[in-house]
Each structure stands twice: as structure tokens, then as C-alpha cells.
């Protein structure tokens, strides 16, 4: 009897194994089929946009007329301190540059040039009165950005500046106080020049709205500047501003930083006060949004971060403290395997390989390839956590918090051309009507991934992660690749610090890059690697001829 029972169990076990193997084979075949159709789809989309833009020559940016606009923030501060240049002259140079390039780029949408010059004059008077070294040091104490011009997103409140968020219903609205992050930079001595373009309500990876229009990429005006900090990254790369203030809830600072070939850092979530960022009050208990600097040079990330988070947090997080790169642990992901997202292009794979080879030369252990299983759910997890953002119901925000915009009314209006909203906003409304992400599943997967990556990185680990499946896309092309932004968005879900690092240009003159990720509150590790990669690969490349004389 026992022998027959044992034989029966063995047969059932063999049967289950056969079913399991068949299931694995089926899943594998399905995966290959999906990948094949994805490959064909991407080729067709690329072909269509090649055809659309084949007879549209890009507009070329004029060369800079004054070498000063090529300087880093740190260099500018040192020149002011050494009395080599006045604050007024610096501000004048960047104002002139904005006027030169903005007609081509449409990046800056409101300015305060006269007030900026007046503030520069006030700073110059302080320097004139500083007749001793001690007095001079006192002026610069606590002001790491003394005299440095900067720009900020139009959706981030700045006193006296336009504050529409790209909504037609808010046209003409001005902000009556500075957002906390703007206030922090001003306290650090920076001088606001103006505010820059954003997509409608910030929720799209291109910068376009019905108030100000579309922002163009400085490297090729047929291409997207990215979003939502697209105007910001664009004007910084074009040398209209040495420093940009970006915000980031789904890659909003890092996407345009990648597209425009500059550095963009997303601070560990929770380090800054969100008051003044669109409708936010700064009292939200749970949010994915953060902020951070957009700069042409890695060295400018540290003083800006210090200004944003304050001296106490800077000391606690050891911002600016030397990092021994050879002692860090390095990891990388080369293919996140989200089937909704385009595969990583060969040129970005090569860029990653070059980074890994360079890191291998400075450390005993080479970077270790890792597979983070839940990464393939990046978009679904981000979509779920967006529904948990406090006080930011998209349909209500789209109605300027005065009414809830109905997708059933807005889609027909859009079709006949009478909608006041962009296609990106309409698609977001449609997305809100689709089946919700299961909360139990999303919470479990988020916790699993968070624990996995926290254990992996600890306080001495760095992860290299693809910035994007491909280099920057042409205008409107991202609508046909709506999930590609999730390579950035997953780190908003995880609330980790990330630096977007430029790695030069491809054969078509478009920026390459990589994301550098660290554990929570380990922002300094990201920045240390960014500085090293800048030294190795050259960092930002100007999207114009450098100088006329």
C-alpha cells in the first residue's frame, strides 16, 4: 500500500514539474514575443519622427560673448570676493545671455531683471564698505552663493513672479511670497533672475503648455528639453543661468538634466520644505516630491545643497566632506526588464560600460551587477504612490482647485480643439479612470524593493542605473513612449538621493548620461561620484560655439 502511495506521489511530482517547465517556457516565449514587437514598434516610431523632422533644420544658439557666463557658481563667488568682478556685471552678463537665447529656446517665461540688478548693486555696496579681510569674510559667511544669479521653475513660488503652473485658468496670477526653497537660495546670497517654463501642472516629461508654449532643447531645437524642470535645465545648459532650482516627483529634475546634458540632483526625500511648490503647503506627511540643483558643474552641487537644507542638516549628512571612492561598494543595473519600457540602446549601454570600467580602475572590487526583481514594476508602483500624494488630486488641481475637471467632458472638447488643456493633461485624466493598482500588492512590492536596495547600498554603496532607454526624443515623441520615464520615477517611490550625471554627447550631438543612486541621506556619495565622472568624461558640453573673440 505504502509503495503504491509513494509511486503516486512521484508521478504527481513529475507531472507538476512538467507543468512548471511548460509554464516557464510559455512565459519565456511570451517575453520574447513582447520584446520583438516592442523592438519593431520602436523602429516604426523612430522612422515616423525621422520623416516628420527631416526637412526641419534646428535653430542654432549664438556663441557666448563673455567668458564669465561659462564660469561655475564657485568661480563666480571667488571672483566677487577677490574683487575681480562686480555683482552687477555678473547679473548683466546673464541677463544679456537670456535675451540672446530665449527667443530660440522659450525657456524663461517671466523676469525680474531690474530687481536683480538692484540687489546686485546692494551687494556691491557691501563689498565696497568691506575695507578689511575680516569684514569681507563676514559678508560671505553663511552665503555660499553670494552674488550668483539663479532661475527657478514657474510652478515654484517666487515673490512677484508668474505662478500659473501652465494652467490657462491661472494666466496673470503672480505669487506674493517665495517658496521655502527659493527663500533658502536667496538667504544664501543668490539673486533670482526669473522663472522658467514647465508642463501643465508639472506632470509630463516634456515642457509644453497653453500659457507659454513649448521649450526647445539647446542641443537641437527639434528635440524635447524634458520635464517638468525643462525650462530650467534648458537655460542653465545654454548659459543663461549658472544655477537652476528644480523639483522632482517622477524624474522632473533628472529627465531635463539628462536631455540638456547637465547635472541634476534629487535630494533625499524629506530634506526640504515643500511649501510653495504649486499648491503644496509644506505640511504634507507623505510625499515623493523633493527638490535639488541643476548645474553645469558638479562642484556647484555642494554649496547649493548646503543652502537648501541648511547648516545643521549639512553637518549631519556630512555634505562636502571628502569621500574615499576606493572604499565604496559599487553596483549596477543594466536592464530593468520592464516590458512596457523601451530596451536600453547600445550607445547608453556603452556609456554604462565606460563608467564601470573607470570605476574598476579605482577600486579593488569591480562593480557588481544586481537584479532587483520589483524594478520591473516601476511605473505601476509610481502610479500607485501618486494617488497617495496629499492634497494633489489631479482633476481638481487642473481646475485650479475651484472645480474638478471631468475627463468625459474634456476629451470631446480636446478632439474638436476647444479644450484649455494639453494632451498630456488629458491623458493623465484618462489614466485616472483606468483600474487602480492593488494597494496590498503595491505596498508589499514597495517594501520589498526598499528593503532590498537599502540592505544593498547601506551607507557606503552606490548604484549605477540607466538614465533612460534612449537619448532625448523629438517633440511629441514621448507620447508614444509613455512609460520610459519610469527609470527615473522609481527612485521617487524609494525616496533615495540621485544625481543625474552627463557623460558627453553621442554621434548626433545629443547628451548621454547615467544616474548615480545612494542610500537615504547619503547624498554626498552621489555627488562625490558625480565629481569623479566629470573629471573622467568631461561633464557638460556647451550646445554652442564657446566664444566669439
Whole-number Cα distances in Å, 266 to 341, 461, 465, 499: 22, 17, 14, 6
Q: Do residues 367 and 332 make contact, with C-beta atoms less than 8 angstroms apart?
A: yes
Burial status of residue 455 (CB atoms within 10 A of its CB: 0-12, 13-18, 19 or more): exposed
> Which of 128, 281, 106 has the alpha carbon at shortest distance from 211?
106
What length is written for the chain? 549
Burial status of residue 393 (CB atoms within 10 A of its CB: 0-12, 13-18, 19 or more): middle
Q: What distance lies between CA 471 and its chain's CA centroid?
A: 14
Residue linked to cell 579593488: 364
C-alpha span between 154 and 243 (Å, rounded): 15
C-alpha span between 438 and 420 (Å, rounded): 32
Rg (CA), the chain: 25
Q: Which residues are catalytic?
A: 153, 228, 252
CB atoms within 10 A of CB 30: 11
**And the C-alpha cell for 198?**
514647465
Q: Do residues 294 and 301 make contact, with C-beta atoms less than 8 angstroms apart?
A: no
- Annotate 127-156 with b (16+ C-beta within 10 A) or e (fewer): beebeeeeebeebbeebbbbbbbbbbbbbb
Q: Where are the alpha helices (DSSP H) in 54-176?
A: 73-81, 87-105, 113-129, 133-140
C-alpha span between 274 and 272 (Å, rounded): 6
C-alpha span between 536 and 549 (Å, rounded): 28
Q: Do residues 327 and 529 make contact, with C-beta atoms less than 8 angstroms apart?
A: no
- 285 Cβ neighbours under 8 A, 6+ residues apart: 390
Amino acid at each position: 500500500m505504502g509503495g503504491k502511495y509513494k509511486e503516486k506521489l512521484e508521478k504527481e511530482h513529475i507531472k507538476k514539474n512538467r507543468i512548471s517547465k511548460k509554464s516557464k517556457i510559455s512565459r519565456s516565449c511570451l517575453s520574447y514575443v513582447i520584446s520583438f514587437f516592442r523592438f519593431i514598434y520602436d523602429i516604426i516610431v523612430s522612422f515616423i519622427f525621422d520623416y516628420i523632422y527631416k526637412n526641419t533644420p534646428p535653430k542654432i544658439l549664438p556663441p557666448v560673448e563673455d567668458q564669465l557666463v561659462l564660469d561655475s557658481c564657485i568661480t563666480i563667488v571667488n571672483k566677487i570676493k577677490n574683487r575681480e568682478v562686480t555683482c552687477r556685471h555678473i547679473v548683466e552678463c546673464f541677463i544679456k545671455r537670456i535675451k540672446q537665447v530665449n527667443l530660440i529656446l522659450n525657456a524663461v517665461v517671466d523676469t525680474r531683471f531690474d530687481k536683480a540688478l538692484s540687489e546686485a548693486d546692494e551687494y556691491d555696496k557691501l563689498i565696497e564698505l568691506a575695507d578689511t579681510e575680516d569684514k569681507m569674510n563676514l559678508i560671505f559667511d553663511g552665503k555660499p552663493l553670494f552674488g550668483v544669479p539663479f532661475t527657478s521653475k514657474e510652478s515654484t513660488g517666487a515673490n512677484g513672479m508668474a505662478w500659473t503652473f501652465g494652467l490657462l485658468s491661472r494666466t496673470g496670477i503672480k505669487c506674493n511670497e517665495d517658496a521655502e526653497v527659493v527663500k533658502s537660495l536667496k538667504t544664501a546670497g543668490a539673486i533670482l533672475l526669473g522663472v522658467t517654463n514647465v508642463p501643465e501642472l508639472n506632470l509630463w516629461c516634456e515642457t509644453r503648455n497653453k500659457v507659454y508654449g513649448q521649450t526647445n532643447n539647446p542641443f537641437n531645437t527639434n528635440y524635447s528639453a524634458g520635464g517638468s524642470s525643462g525650462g530650467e535645465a534648458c537655460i542653465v545648459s545654454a548659459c543663461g543661468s549658472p544655477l537652476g532650482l528644480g523639483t522632482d516627483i517622477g524624474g522632473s529634475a533628472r529627465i531635463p538634466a539628462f536631455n540638456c546634458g547637465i547635472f541634476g540632483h534629487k535630494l533625499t526625500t524629506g530634506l526640504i520644505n515643500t511649501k510653495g511648490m504649486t499648491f503644496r503647503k509644506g505640511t504634507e506627511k507623505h510625499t515623493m516630491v523633493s527638490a535639488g540643483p541643476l548645474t553645469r558643474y558638479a562642484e556647484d552641487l555642494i554649496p547649493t545643497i548646503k543652502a537648501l537644507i541648511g547648516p545643521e542638516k549639512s553637518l549631519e549628512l556630512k555634505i562636502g566632506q571628502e569621500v574615499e571612492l576606493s572604499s565604496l561598494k559599487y553596483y549596477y543595473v543594466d536592464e530593468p526588464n520592464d516590458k512596457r519600457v523601451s530596451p536600453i540602446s547600445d550607445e547608453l549601454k556603452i556609456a554604462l560600460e565606460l563608467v564601470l570600467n573607470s570605476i574598476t580602475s579605482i577600486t579593488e572590487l569591480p562593480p557588481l551587477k544586481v537584479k532587483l526583481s520589483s524594478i520591473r514594476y516601476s511605473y505601476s508602483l509610481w502610479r500607485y504612490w501618486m494617488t497617495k500624494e496629499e492634497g494633489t488630486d489631479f482633476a481638481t488641481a487642473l481646475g485650479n482647485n475651484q472645480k474638478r475637471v471631468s475627463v468625459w467632458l474634456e476629451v470631446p472638447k480636446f478632439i474638436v480643439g476647444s479644450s484649455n488643456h494639453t494632451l498630456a493633461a488629458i491623458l493623465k485624466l484618462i489614466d485616472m479612470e483606468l483600474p487602480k493598482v492593488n494597494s496590498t500588492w503595491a505596498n508589499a512590492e514597495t517594501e520589498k524593493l526598499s528593503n532590498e536596495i537599502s540592505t544593498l547600498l547601506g551607507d557606503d554603496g552606490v548604484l549605477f542605473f540607466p538614465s533612460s532607454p534612449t537619448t532625448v526624443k523629438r517633440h511629441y515623441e514621448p507620447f508614444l513612449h509613455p512609460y520610459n520615464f519610469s527609470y527615473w520615477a522609481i527612485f521617487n517611490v524609494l525616496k533615495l538621493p540621485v544625481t543625474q550625471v552627463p557623460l558627453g554627447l553621442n554621434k548626433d550631438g545629443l547628451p548621454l548620461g547615467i544616474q548615480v543612486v545612494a542610500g537615504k541621506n547619503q547624498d554626498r556619495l552621489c555627488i562625490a561620484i558625480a565629481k569623479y565622472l566629470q573629471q573622467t568624461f568631461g561633464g557638460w558640453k556647451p550646445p554652442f560655439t564657446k566664444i566669439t573673440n
